[in-house]
């Protein structure tokens, strides 16, 4: 892959999702990490990014940005916020998920994701503890959440999502038969050799996510129209 194309890819598609939402993860502050966790749960559903962004802005508007506030808001209040943001297809299910997740987060870690990270023994245990918070925290949500915490949380090192793998293989920067973990290793090695000044691996990965989504969307369009 030519350097010019890589630079264009990262500059055009590499903005971190947390930055779009006005969340600052750079210092690993618990309050900001929680906001990103909430957003990651919303991003975890097969729904348009624009709907997630709008819905998260509604949570911010109503100051429902902590586990305690989510529990205080209750099921009816959460459904109302989700509907306001256009998250209507998954409103009931997501309200259920959020309440379950927050109850467990409060019970096990006093509502602190930083505490969860501190208690985790390694990257694998961190992912397991996140998934154990509830059914709403699956492989996709964990991958989204931890991807932007690379180099912020010491134990955050998730395998790339399917979108990233699809993009990386399409661009021929990883082996076609590479496993998820091998793909991550190859991507890190590729980035270390082809870094773009002023950009990070996290932004490179974000660009691959968007490129992979676009590829998947185009493939579905071809199938539907054929």
Instruction: Return mean pLDDT, the chain.
Output: 94
Q: Cα–Cα distance between 218 and 170 in angstroms, integer?
A: 13
Q: How far is Cα 78 from Cα 188, in angstroms, rounded to an integer?
A: 39
Quickly name the fold that domain 17-147 has: Endonuclease III; domain 1 (1.10.340)
Report the chain's terminal Cα–Cα distance, integer Å. 31
- Asked if residue 17 lies in contact with residue 43, where contact means CB atoms within 8 angstroms, the answer is yes
The domain spans of the chain are: 3-15+160-225, 17-147
pTM above 0.95, yes or no: no
The answer to whether the CB of 75 falls within 8 A of the CB of 66 is no
Q: In the predicted model, what is the mean pLDDT of residues 164-168?
A: 95
Please tell me the predicted confidence (pLDDT) of residue 222: 43
For the segment 61-118, what is each residue's pLDDT rounded down to a tens digit?
999 999 999 999 999 999 999 999 999 889 999 999 999 999 999 999 999 999 999 9
Residue 152 contacts residue 28 (beta carbons within 8 Å): yes
Phi, psi for 52 (deg, rounded to 5): -65, -45
Mean pLDDT of 159-188: 92
């Amino acid at each position: 892959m030519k350097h010019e194309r890589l630079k264009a890819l990262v500059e055009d598609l590499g903005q971190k999702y947390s930055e779009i939402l006005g969340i600052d993860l750079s210092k690993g502050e618990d309050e900001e990490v929680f906001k990103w966790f909430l957003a990651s749960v919303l991003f975890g559903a097969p729904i348009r990014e624009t709907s997630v962004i709008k819905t998260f802005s509604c949570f911010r508007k109503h100051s429902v940005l902590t586990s305690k506030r989510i529990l205080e808001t209750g099921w009816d209040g959460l459904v109302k916020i989700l509907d306001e943001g256009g998250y209507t297809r998954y409103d009931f299910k997501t309200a259920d998920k959020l309440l379950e997740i927050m109850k467990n987060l409060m019970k096990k870690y006093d509502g602190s994701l930083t505490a969860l990270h501190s208690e985790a023994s390694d990257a694998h245990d961190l992912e397991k503890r996140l998934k154990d918070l509830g059914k709403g925290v699956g492989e996709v949500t964990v991958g989204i959440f931890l991807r932007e915490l690379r180099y912020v949380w010491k134990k955050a090192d998730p395998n790339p999502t399917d979108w990233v793998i699809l993009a990386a293989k399409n661009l021929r920067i990883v082996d076609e038969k590479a496993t998820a973990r091998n793909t991550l290793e190859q991507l890190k090695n590729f980035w270390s050799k082809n870094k773009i000044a002023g950009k990070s691996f996290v932004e490179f990965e974000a660009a691959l996510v968007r490129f992979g989504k676009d590829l998947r969307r185009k493939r579905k369009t071809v199938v539907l129209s054929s």
